[in-house]
Structure 1
Amino acid sequence: MQSQAVSVDQYLIELPPERQAPMRQLRELLRARLPAGFEECMAYGMPAYVVPHRLYPAGYHCNPKLPLPFISLASQKQAITLYHMGLYSDGELLAWFQTEHARVSSRKLDMGKCCVRYKKAEHIPFELIGDLVSRWTPQDWIQRYEAQIQR
């Protein structure tokens, strides 16, 4: 179920107490480590980090009124989930992340196409996630995104 929160602060306040600290830590990590140009907002009922229209006027091809999505966070029923569109669109980035995750965590990586799920907050490799989110600028993401949608 998507949150009806209109701000990230409201989203975090509405979380169960045991989810608030790790989600706040992830938020602060993203705000500190994402390269300049990405903006925080609510999208699809979760905190999102997007390329704003001022940097990419075309917006998201599925709905050009929306900014270009890059990363989202969600506190779901079974897990805290990080959605990183680069993991879906770039095999080299995905391979790097999978290798590094195995190196820093004894836990099996629980992934979908672009989502990484952590059932327990203590299993979140915050430093690795910080490294992941700092790898691409908005311009890097735009370039890769455009290459994907033009196929």
Structure 2
Amino acid sequence: MLNQGHCICRDGLTKVLDDIREADGLILGSPNYLSNLTASFRALYERLVFQSLTYNAETPCCNKNVIPVLLIMTSNAPDTAYTELLNSYKDTLDKFVGPTTVLVSGDTLQLNDYSKTDWEWSFFDPEHKKERHETVFPQECKKAYEMGKSLIV
């Protein structure tokens, strides 16, 4: 017999999903590749959400342990480039896992030294990226830490 709120697939992710179900909060993170979060993130996200989906109009979600979620994305693009995408993830996580906050660290540094490649980096200024990585990124990391800490306080 299938248990509502449990993923039907029994595999290596089963224990992770069980642990999340019992957690006080959840922090999910992913870089942005090709204008979306990674396939690894999507695999977890889909299984996490799908286990609580009921296909019942009156009670579409059977999650009995609503927990706060922090979704963090890093991206080479500016912080505001993926608002619609992240709002979609947020809305779904809000409905099936718990109240979700999103943090984006954009305009990230991809390489320590862009000059060591044969590529022409003409979409952005590598020096600006390095400066931002040294000044803004540490502040964003601290913010992510504080946001994560606040999930369980």
User: Is the TM-score greater than 0.5?
Assistant: no
- CA radius of gyration, larger in: 2
Instruction: Give the structure with the larger strand fraction.
Output: 1
TM range (shorter): under 0.3
